[in-house]
Structure 1
Amino acid sequence: MTDSRGLWGIVLAGGEGVRLRPLVRRVAGEERPKQFVRLLGSRSLLRQTLDRAALGISTDRTVVVTVRQHTEYIAEEFAGVSQPPYVLVQPEDRGTAAAILYAAHWIGWRDPCATIAVFPSDHFILGEATFMAHVQEVAGALERHPDRVVLLGGQPTSPEGEYGWIEPGPPIGDDDGVLSAVRQFWGKPSEARAQMCLSTGCLWNTAIAVARVRALVELGARALPDMSSRLAGIQRFLDSDRELAAVDRAYALITRANFSRAVLESHPEHLGVSRLPRVTWCDLGNPRRVAYVLARMRVRPAWADLMDASASLDGVAAPEPVSMPTIRSVASH
């Protein structure tokens, strides 16, 4: 592992994976969130995310954010693991904004000078070492541009309406084009807007972000002042016997918010974007993308015979065109 000094990782593992439920039910034989399922081999999506992050971030600076109803799966995931990551348990799911800001305040209390990389736990990345080297490069660039929250942008292959879109601006500083300003950010645009974004050189928002903890917390306070204030209030109870009660109290008083729409879309002037290097990336948000990834990996698990639609490149950022074998995608119940 090449460890970047001061770099922390936040791994988001609180979602329900609603769109993959029919597939998960067939693969796992039960209802469970997709991040705790072995969709792509012998490791769960969460485990794959943690192993990828470990290429550049030590386990003792990695924080998994989940929700109380998932604690059974978390316990199963880390059973027998000698050095598990930190786990922050939210009383309930209040969206990605709360998960990210809660973890940011928690990290900031321990390490006020931290740089943070945020990773969803349901992504596929081919070229993991290259990817994590790029995360480290972006973290290094933030030493010169500490006020930016930097998004990693994927090269689009289709007018994907399920992703956010980023319009890059001019380069920031003299870092060989590592960072660019953001002219505009759209969270899950209309079909027409997505087509326009594709034709004008915009990038997909991968939902992977890198920022100094102070910049992330300040952006959260600008966009969601009430939420940020209540989550910041947890800090004075951390590592005390009142911590859990403080978390419960804060979450009872905040409302659900999506980080991309509530925070990023409203403040593009505080953002930066860095184009992903030559890696293949996708969010495993629907069965089509799972089918694509299995084809790309040349893997066909036993449950693949249950699939009944063609794999699709829609929603996959790839460095070059890929010929696709036919793999069938799960039918909805």
Structure 2
Amino acid sequence: MKAIVLAGGSGTRLWPLSRKDYPKQFLKLNGGKSLLRQTVDRLLLFLNPEDILILTCEHYKFHVKAHLVDLSGYHLLCEPHARNTGPAIAYGFKYALEKWGLPSDEPVLICPSDHLIEPEDVFAETVQKAAQVAKEGFLVTFGITPSRPETGYGYIKQGERLKEVNDFSAYKVARFTEKPDVATAENYLKEGGYYWNAGIFLFTPETFSKELATCAPDIFALYDNDFDTLTSKFAEMPDISIDYALMEKSSQVAVVPLSLYWNDIGSWDALFDVLEKDSSGNAQTGRVITIDTENSMILGQKRLIATIGLEDHLVVETPDAILIVKKGEAQKVSNLVKQLKNEGYPEALEHVTTYRPWGSYTVLEEGPRYKIKRIVVNPGERLSLQMHYHRSEHWVVVRGTAKVQIGDEEIFLHENESVFVPKSTKHRLENPGKIPLEIIEVQNGEYLGEDDIVRFDDVYGRSKK
């Protein structure tokens, strides 16, 4: 068995923590590991790193590497364009067949990178048993046994039984249903035989290709090329999910029930369910003081947050934004983000801290003709050799050792030492040391946008502009 992990999504439902530049799969929401890393560790219970393909986009490639820095052997593939899960999975399969040497009859597990699943050993055992169903020519989907009349998930209705061995069962899928209203969801639970659609799939390349040709000929027409041709034509792919393109149309779909805890962390309400609560039913992190506050979530980062008389609310604070939403209304956060984008708010897409392949930078202050940043360069990493037409820079080392190139000169800077970088001068910053390098950068000039960078050399292969 092999696995393809989908890690290219840029979800907005957990704004302001999750944003396009740093989406949910890289957040550490329930402990010290990101959701991506938890996903990979779960797969490593029954797979080797060499059996795992991480499918992401170019913009997130260095995030994936950073979160799997101690893991070697896994495959990493970047989609040429964002085209939803249907084309993405087709791209992953084509890579696996041609570049990975995957046999056409070997089952492949498709899973998102941002779900919580417990206990993990039950998941691993069920997936391995379901491999036999996939080998028999079925597109296997995994259904979560519902614990409540949830209206935020799609449902799967089971049909005739295909297999029943000890504690393992598999059924033909009778139909998929969209997210129901409360009354319909309650009826599903009473009737039984309905499962939440977890968006986790298992099938062989042979079955996938056959069903794709029948159910999604527009995708298959492009998929039926070699990998390099598919890459060059990928922009022609339709923007469609695997559910709409294939799973809801095929007659060869089977559902395997998963009786465990599953949460896609699809909203702040969903995260609240996961977090540990105090005696008042509150989940809180950071500097929080509460008086007469009950059944609420207060997540702080930088500021002191004080609440009085709050009940059934969700409060999320980041250095540049605060979200306050009533419990049960968190699904509307995506609508809020759309409004922020339409009105040109940069907070819709970017954090004050921006991550780069070499480390990160945080905007501390900015105004007309100036910007102040804290820059952290990881050990052994270096920025591109670059130049700015419209700004000069002044660097002050706060921690660590910096190797600096300005023009043809190279110098070393230590704590409390500084250097000036004039406009239109080639320069580069590097950390030759063993600890993170931290500097304060003061920019001055008539234009301070991040696109005023001309790159001459870059170890990370980024554009020269």
TM-score w.r.t. the length of structure 1 is: 0.79
Which residue does 1:271 correspond to in 2?
253
Tell me whether 1:125 sits opposite 2:117 in the alignment. yes
Which residue does 1:47 correspond to in 2?
37
Structure 2's unaligned 5+ residue stretches are 298-311, 317-322, 325-335, 337-465
SS of residue matched to 2:275: helix
Tell me whether 1:252 sits opposite 2:241 in the alignment. no
- CA drift of 1:264 comes to 1.4
SS of residue matched to 1:63: strand
- CA drift of 1:271 comes to 0.5
Greater RCO, 1 or 2 (C-alpha within 8 Å, sep 6+): 1
Tell me whether 1:186 sits opposite 2:177 in the alignment. yes
SS of residue matched to 1:64: strand
- The correspondence for 2:2, drawn from 8, 24, 27, is 8
Output the CA distance in 2 between the equivalents of 1:310 and 1:263: 41
Paired residue total:
296
Tell me whether 1:204 sits opposite 2:186 in the alignment. no
Q: Letter of the aligned partner of 2:171 in structure 1? A: S
Which residue does 1:137 correspond to in 2?
129
Output the CA distance in 2 between the equivalents of 1:216 and 1:199: 34
Query: 1:310–1:209: structure 2 CA closer, same or farther, 3 Å change rule?
Result: farther
Going by fraction, where is strand more abundant, 1 or 2?
A: 2
Root-mean-square deviation (CA, aligned residues, Å) is: 3.1
Equivalent residue runs for 1:168-183 within 5 Å: 168-173=158-163, 175=165, 178-183=169-174
Equivalent residue runs for 1:171-320 within 5 Å: 171-173=161-163, 175=165, 178-189=169-180, 193-201=184-192, 202-235=194-227, 243=228, 246-267=229-250, 269-277=251-259, 279-295=260-276, 302-303=285-286, 305=288, 310=295
Structure 1's unaligned 5+ residue stretches are 1-6, 236-242, 313-325
Output the CA distance in 2 between the equivalents of 1:249 and 1:129: 40
Paired-residue identity, %:
27
Query: 1:294–1:10: structure 2 CA closer, same or farther, 3 Å change rule?
Result: same
- The correspondence for 2:137, drawn from 124, 143, 147, is 147
* Bigger Rg over Cα: 2
Which residue does 2:76 correspond to in 1?
87
Output the CA distance in 2 between the equivalents of 1:92 and 1:304: 41
Q: Letter of the aligned partner of 1:86 in structure 2? A: H
- The correspondence for 1:70, drawn from 35, 39, 60, is 60
Output the CA distance in 1 between the equivalents of 2:287 and 2:199: 28
Q: Letter of the aligned partner of 1:135 in structure 2? A: V
Output the CA distance in 2 between the equivalents of 1:262 and 1:13: 19
Output the CA distance in 1 between the equivalents of 2:162 and 2:289: 48
Going by fraction, where is helix more abundant, 1 or 2?
A: 1
- CA drift of 1:172 comes to 0.7
**Equivalent pair of 2:49/2:71 in contact (CA under 8 Å):** no
TM-score w.r.t. the length of structure 2 is: 0.58
- CA drift of 1:57 comes to 1.3
- CA drift of 1:103 comes to 1.2
Query: 1:196–1:139: structure 2 CA closer, same or farther, 3 Å change rule?
Result: same
Equivalent residue runs for 1:30-41 within 5 Å: 31-41=21-31
SS of residue matched to 1:18: coil
- CA drift of 1:249 comes to 2.1
- CA drift of 1:173 comes to 4.3
